Structure 1
Amino acid sequence: FRVVEAVRQEIDAPLGIDISLKSRIPPGGGLGGASTDAATLLKYLQRQHSIPDEIVKRIAEQVGSDVPFFLRGGTAIAAGRGEVLEFPGDLTDYHVKLALPGVRVPTPTAYALIDRLGCAERLNPGDIDNLHRAFLAGDIASIKELSKNTFEGPVLKAYKEIGALFDRLDSDPTAILTRLSGSGSCVFNLYACSKSLCFSFVTSDEVSKSDGA
């Protein structure tokens, strides 16, 4: 565990613990599973050893680009490598259906696909702030226009199973949009709903059954 070694070096003392970590987040799914594990372990070690927040933040940035986000979670706008975070307030009135395919996309592979295949989806300056405002206003047309994922095109081309799952979800006329989650492999639909932001999880087989495939 890189977190353990980083903490040990910072406090210059043995930690005196045995670690058994059980993650329920599918690996290679674009859900930040490894970073969530690292953040959870880091928060535990902070409590056990009274590590100051500034040291925890520094360790998080060293361990992984999105580990600082998972120390807190919620709705955030990220810059830099992902370690520069702004928390503008959580979104409400949206529902996410997350579909889990039967394949994994390692993050290095996803970046290599961008280098090899290129990408058409790029954010323009100001798009992220405009997208957040569109979510707050319930501006569906702007949400569809401004929501982008650079990994989406290359990953869908390279992984036919993910592309097929994406197409099935994208055929749902009640969804605001369909997107690849992070660098893949999971795909999600976003819906408007009257409740606070909520989630449902389905497998690709369940998606096939629901649409009669």
Structure 2
Amino acid sequence: MLTKTHAKINIGLVIPYKREDGLHEIRSVFVPIDFGDPMEIQIESLPKGNESRFEFHSVNHLQGYRHDLFEAVSERGDLSRNILAKSFAKLKPHFKTPIQITIHLEKFLPPEGGIGGGSSNAGVFLRHFFPYTNLNPEEQIVLAKSIGADVPFFLQSSPCFVSGIGEVLEPISVAKGFGILAIPPFGLSTGSMYAGLQKSLQKPYGSEVWKSLAEDLIRSLHVGDWAYLQNRLENEFEKIAFQTQPLLKELKLGFFESGADFASLSGSGSCLYGIYKAEGKRNEALPNVSHRFPNMEFRTFSF
């Protein structure tokens, strides 16, 4: 079967506190976009008494240092570090009958981008193979979360209001949108970005905007009033990212100057995106931002 593991963008991201388990509580809107990694999945039943097996083949389309990052965890490097191999290893004890899994992946989603590249690969993989196990829905979420905080989101395909560490999902309605994704030639480490926030241990507190999205925000997401959302759903990581890489602040300004109604860092970065009112307006903006930031890779997307 052929599928695609889609990236996500964050529309707003707040980290209210650090949890007692050492992880960080988040509040965000995750939206899947149509930019992703094509994946071909082949499944073959094996005779009883055999062990389930995993085989992986990939084409690396990444640029710069990210090309080397993926090579290091591909079948040409140490495959045991690959998130799909890790996902298979966690599923293996739960398969009802032994199977041979062969994956062919074309890698476009950048690591260290904040758009869920590896998590998307893992989530789609798990979604296809959970039916071959005896795991119930609760156990499936626990297993997905053990692979990565964003992986549970990629078990489904709807925009969601996300809380917890990324595993508490509330599907929401989001209008169709057209955007440009900028992939900088540098990454931002998720761990160092969280450390930079210096969040203290706190008990959960109620923020009405994020606990259950306020009515006007829900309406704006539903109708695509991106300009209204711009100063209301902000990504808390931006203040650190813009200090670490000032070019990102210029890039966000560049999106607005090209006509974007909403622009934001995605996740903990380094990818940054702009959303436009219409597909035509987005397409007109692409050559402008590409010319202004020649060292960036740009991808158009929709959702």
Q: CA deviation at 1:58?
A: 2.5
Alignment coverage as a number of residue pairs: 199
State how far apart, in whole Å, the 2-side matches of 1:43 and 1:67 are.
Answer: 10
Q: What 5-or-longer segments of structure 1 have no aligned partner?
A: 117-122
Correspondence for 2:262 among 156, 166, 177: 177
What TM-score, normalized to structure 2? 0.56
Match of 2:273 in 1: 188
Q: CA deviation at 1:12?
A: 8.2
Correspondence for 1:101 among 177, 184, 190: 184
State how far apart, in whole Å, the 2-side matches of 1:134 and 1:17 are.
Answer: 43
The answer (yes or no) to whether the contact 1:77–1:86 under 8 Å persists in 2 is yes
Query: Which shows bigger deviation, 19-28 or 98-107?
Result: 19-28
- What do the CA deviations read for 1:79-114 (whole angstroms, capped 9, x no partner)? 11111111123x224222211111111211221222
Match of 1:120 in 2: none
Correspondence for 1:61 among 145, 152, 171: 145
Q: CA deviation at 1:31?
A: 0.5
More strand by share: 2
Cα distance 1:102–1:194, how it changes in 2: closer, same or farther (>3 A)? Answer: closer
After superposition, the CA RMSD in angstroms is: 3.3
More helix by share: 1
Structure 1: which amino acid aligns with 2:110?
P
State how far apart, in whole Å, the 1-side matches of 2:209 and 2:223 are.
Answer: 17
In percent, how many aligned pairs have the same letter?
Answer: 27
Match of 2:289 in 1: 207
Q: What 5-or-longer segments of structure 2 have no aligned partner?
A: 1-84, 200-205, 296-303
Cα distance 1:17–1:154, how it changes in 2: closer, same or farther (>3 A)? Answer: same
State how far apart, in whole Å, the 2-side matches of 1:107 and 1:191 are.
Answer: 27
The answer (yes or no) to whether the contact 1:28–1:107 under 8 Å persists in 2 is yes
3-state DSSP of counterpart to 1:145: coil
TM alignment of 1:149-160, pairs within 5 A: 149-160=235-246
State how far apart, in whole Å, the 1-side matches of 2:113 and 2:244 are.
Answer: 15
Structure 2: which amino acid aligns with 1:83?
E
Q: CA deviation at 1:188?
A: 0.7
